[in-house]
Amino acid sequence: MSTLHKTDVAIIGAGPVGLFAVFQCGMLGFRCHVVDSLDAVGGQCVALYPEKPIYDIPGYPAIDAADLIVKLEQQAAPFAPVFHLGQQATGMERLPDGGGWRLTTSAGTVIEAGAVIIAAGAGAFGPNRPPIPGIEAYEGRSVHYMVKRREDFRGKRVVIAGGGDSAVDWALSLSEIARVMVVHRRPKFRAAFENVCRLEQLHAEGVLELVVPYQLQGLEGVDGRIEAVTVATLEGTVRRLEADALLAFFGLSTDLGPIAGWGLELERHHLAVDPASMVTSQPGIFAIGDVNAYPGKLKLILTGFAEAALAAHAIHPILRPDTALHFEYSTTRGVPGGVPA
């Protein structure tokens, strides 16, 4: 049986940009319900790199992704958002009176709102799995596609596969506490120049090993615990790497899912928006963060924060058409109940 909720703004996505949209909407007096397919708030920050530092959040020279989410939750808390987690937004239709939208989810939740903000990041995401027979038996125990706790790998033999920033970043980090072997199909890495230089330096010093040019071939182990990773060159040379864990970083596959079927204008699998307001091709539906596209778009969290403010202010004349919006700085207005600790 479906459960009906009525609110001012429905937000799809509980990542950092979605959480900040709650704050921006709250400062204008709007109540928000938030839907996310994950079981916890935070989006990719929590699901993929909770312990990875972020360096371009204003006011924080460095802050771990998980800590950023905690701060954003605290910032949104005075406005009492209602979260619907572990359920995917599946349907969207205009209300019969034209005064808003009806959002439905995979759990049977129905949310009627005057406006909708889609802050779904890149959409539903999952790892690109290496084509290794039987790898599913090891996933979650000794084969991982993300690092949730760095300490889980202390003292272990870790094979890292991939040549991008994630692979290089975690190779540098884990080499401090584990024996690291980096497998890549070619000697060149697609990562920050300084980090690649550091990686090669650590290899020269014997701190970690670069296994190049090799590709993953197979796994050896029992009961979900790997004992070795076999790798091979294109010429057929095979090596056996004794290991306790495999970290495979081959990027993410993303999918807008049901959102792609809602009749919104798309631009290369992203939602096209007006950069002045973040409105999509459907009035009353807005898109912010990595899910949207417009000329000059920068895929940064801080860009998404600014887009959340633009969307909230563009929503005001929709929800309060008879009330003039008198812009106030937060230093003047404050927040309900003061600033949370």
Q: For 181-233, what is each residue's pLDDT tens digit?
A: 999 999 999 988 999 999 999 999 999 999 999 999 999 999 999 999 999 99
Q: b/e per residue, 162-179, with b = 16+ CB within 10 A?
A: bbeebbbbbbbbbbeebb
Looking at residue 198, the DSSP 8-state letter turns out to be: H
Please count the other Cβ atoms lying within 10 Å of the Cβ belonging to residue 244. Answer: 18
Q: Give the pLDDT score at 53.
A: 87
Token pair in block for residue 303: 């860009």
- List per-block mean pLDDT (blocks of 10 residues) for the chain, which spans 341 residues: 89 97 97 92 82 90 94 97 94 91 96 97 74 92 88 97 92 96 96 94 98 96 96 95 96 80 93 98 97 95 97 97 84 68 38
User: Where are the CATH 3.50.50.60 domain residues in the chain?
Assistant: 3-125+253-333, 129-250
Report the relative pairing of strands 215-222 and 225-232 from DSSP bridges. antiparallel
Please count the other Cβ atoms lying within 10 Å of the Cβ belonging to residue 223. Answer: 8
pTM score of the predicted model: 0.75
Helix, coil or strand: residue 285: strand
Looking at residue 99, the DSSP 8-state letter turns out to be: S
CATH assignment, 129-250: 3.50.50.60
Report the relative pairing of strands 245-248 and 63-64 from DSSP bridges. unpaired
End-to-end CA distance of the chain: 39
Q: Give the pLDDT score at 125.
A: 62
Please count the other Cβ atoms lying within 10 Å of the Cβ belonging to residue 39. Answer: 9
Q: Give the pLDDT score at 121.
A: 79
Count of helix runs (H) and strand runs (E) in the chain = 7, 22
Q: Which residues pair with 300 in a beta bridge?
A: none
Q: What fold is seen in the domain 3-125+253-333? A: FAD/NAD(P)-binding domain (3.50.50)
